[in-house]
């Protein structure tokens, strides 16, 4: 019998992604679904998709989901988790959603140490609304609302969510990853799994920031988008583990498994 090496994760519905070719959202959806399958938590997972390109995430994930108004996912997720403490609750957010309109909800859910996981897609633009400047847009980066490039004097600076949030005492695990190469996708998947595991073990708030290509609004092809993450984006947003307060005993237990 042939060995199956690749198949659709059970936690993904049989629907075709509406995302543009080369978009990071599809990759991240897939690896979240793989993690949910591997942890065997499909039946107890509740996801909160945002307003953003991922607004239709509930058409893809085969887990219970509730749409949040733009930016409010972490408030909703906090309440769901408190109401159902033995469920696994994650909020999925873009950079506009998390770092602009919903910065307060995200910041305070983190500060309260809510035992939830935020998957944060940093693609340096507002994808859904047509490529406007996001809080994470690079200096000099051209968008539809920074046509001459982001000007620090007039438009401010890219917001470094991981650096800022890692300062909050309520945060247990925080890592910044990228999905621009197979190796980085694997790393991102590991980080997501660790974050979910952190939540399952009751260790508290986790956030995984993911540098994610938006070829359409970057006006690049998929390959150049991946390169741009390496050459430009990751210089401003360096990947790495920003915080790991998961108790040591829990960590060794995991390794032992």
Ligand X SMILES: Cc1ncc(C[n+]2csc(CCOP(=O)(O)OP(=O)(O)O)c2C)c(N)n1
Return residues touching another protein (CB under 8 A): 42-46, 48, 55-56, 58, 61-69, 72, 75-80, 82-84, 87, 104-105, 107-108, 112
- Interface residue list for ligand X (CB under 6 A): 51-54, 70, 94-97, 121, 123, 125-129, 134
Closer CB to another protein, residue 67 or residue 163?
Answer: 67
- Interface residue list for ligand SF4 (CB under 6 A): 19-20, 23, 25, 53, 123, 127-128, 214-217
Distance CA 66, CA 82 (A): 16
Binding of Mg ion at residue 71 (CB under 5 A)?
no
- Our CA dihedral for 166, 116, 229, 232, rounded to 10 degrees, sits at -30
103-111 and 73-83 are packed helices; what angle lies between their axes, rounded to 10 degrees? 30
Distance CA 103, CA 185 (A): 26
207 binds, among Mg ion, ligand SF4, another protein, none (CB under 5 to 8 A by kind): none
Give min distance, CB of 136 to ligand X, in A. Answer: 8
Give min distance, CB of 98 to another protein, in A. Answer: 14
- Our CA dihedral for 68, 71, 73, 74, rounded to 10 degrees, sits at -160
Beta bridge partners of 240: 176
Among 94, 131, 204, 215, binds Mg ion (CB under 5 A): 94
Closer CB to Mg ion, residue 95 or residue 175?
Answer: 95
Closer CB to Mg ion, residue 124 or residue 198?
Answer: 124
Token pair, residue 23, equals: 């978009």
90 binds, among another protein, ligand SF4, ligand X, none (CB under 5 to 8 A by kind): none
Binding of Mg ion at residue 175 (CB under 5 A)?
no
Distance CA 54, CA 132 (A): 16
Contact 124, 214 (CB under 8 A): yes
Contact 55, 128 (CB under 8 A): yes
- Counting residues that bind Mg ion (by CB under 5 A) gives 4
């Amino acid at each position: 019998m042939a060995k199956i090496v690749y198949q659709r994760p059970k936690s993904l519905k049989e629907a075709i992604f509406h995302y543009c070719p080369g978009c990071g959202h599809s990759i991240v959806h897939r690896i979240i679904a793989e993690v949910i399958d591997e942890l065997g938590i499909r039946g107890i997972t509740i996801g909160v998709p945002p307003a953003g390109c991922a607004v239709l995430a509930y058409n893809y994930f085969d887990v219970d989901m509730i749409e949040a108004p733009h930016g409010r996912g972490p408030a909703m997720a906090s309440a769901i988790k408190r109401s159902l403490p033995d469920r696994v609750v994650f909020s999925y957010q873009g950079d506009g959603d998390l770092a602009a309109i919903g910065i307060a909800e995200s910041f305070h859910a983190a500060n309260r140490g809510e035992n939830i996981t935020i998957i944060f897609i940093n693609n340096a633009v507002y994808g859904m609304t047509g490529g406007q400047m996001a809080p994470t847009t690079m200096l000099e980066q051209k968008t539809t609302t920074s046509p001459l490039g982001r000007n620090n004097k007039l438009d401010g600076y890219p917001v470094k969510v991981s650096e800022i949030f890692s300062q909050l005492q309520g945060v247990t695990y925080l890592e910044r990853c990228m999905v621009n190469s197979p190796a980085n996708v694997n790393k991102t998947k590991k980080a997501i799994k660790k974050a979910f595991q952190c939540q399952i073990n009751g260790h508290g708030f986790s956030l995984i920031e993911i540098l994610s290509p938006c070829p359409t609004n970057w006006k690049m092809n998929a390959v150049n988008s991946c390169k741009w993450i390496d050459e430009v984006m990751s210089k401003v947003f360096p990947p790495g583990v920003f915080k790991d307060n998961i108790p040591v005993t829990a960590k060794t237990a995991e390794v032992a498994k």
